[in-house]
Amino acid sequence: MAARKSCETVLDMAIADLCVLYGAGLFAKLIYRGWLIEGDHFMMEAWVSMRDAFVVPDNVESVLIAISKAQSTHSDISQRYATMSRFFSRSLLVPPSEEKLLYLWTMLEIYPMQDTTDIKPISEYLSVRIGRPAAEIKDKLDIGRMFGIRSTLVHNGILALDISEMGKFFGRLESICLEVLRGMSGIDYDGSLDKHFS
């Protein structure tokens, strides 16, 4: 069991590391859930994630070794990253849903919200990463509302999110989580959150 858990952790961290470098689109897939066909009319439900094309460089192994080294600089960060990567890899397997929200938000509670229930450390951490005021980050990334939706789910059993908002909501939450993972991996900010500030 110990060996299995160790192997699973290494695989989850490898998945998270690759997403940190190339985005979650590397593991994106199209998900269909049911259909309705009546005569000439039909409706289908699907989640599609659009990502920019990328090329995996020849030196990817040395890059992965470098970020693994950065993650292991502090034992606390190393342990948190390992746990967060487990939640992140599981979040890639589910469509926008209650489960995805809990997986992604729990990552933020592990880091940078460690030792508190206050959401302030999220915007403070991102402020240092991307060079914008924490208050602006909280407002533009809608962190307070995300926390409210998470709280309503956990305390009332309701995902208070219209289906028309899900793509944008989960895309933003996933981007925040990836940026936190990048910071923990010693990777400089690449502008991935800038689109939310225009």
- pLDDT band for position 149 (cuts 50, 70, 90): very high
All residues at 6 or more sequence positions from 155 whose CB lies less than 8 Å from its CB, including other chains: none
What integer pLDDT is reported at residue 177 of this predicted model? Answer: 98
Report whether pLDDT(35) > 60.
no
Angle at which helix 163-184 crosses helix 2-22, to 10 degrees, equals 100
- Rounded CA-CA distance 161/145 in Å is 10
* Residue 178 and residue 192 in contact, taking contact as beta carbons nearer than 8 Å: yes
- The domain locations on the chain are 2-197
* Amino acid making up residue 84: M
Kindly tell me if the per-residue pLDDT of 46 is higher than 80.
no
| pLDDT of the residue at 45 | 53
Is the pLDDT assigned to residue 109 strictly greater than 50? yes
Report the pLDDT value the prediction gives residue 32, as an integer from 0 to 100. Answer: 47
What is the arithmetic mean of pLDDT over 186-194?
Answer: 93
Residues 6+ apart with CB under 8 A from 15: 27, 85, 88, 89, 92
> Taking the model in full, what pTM does it have?
0.84
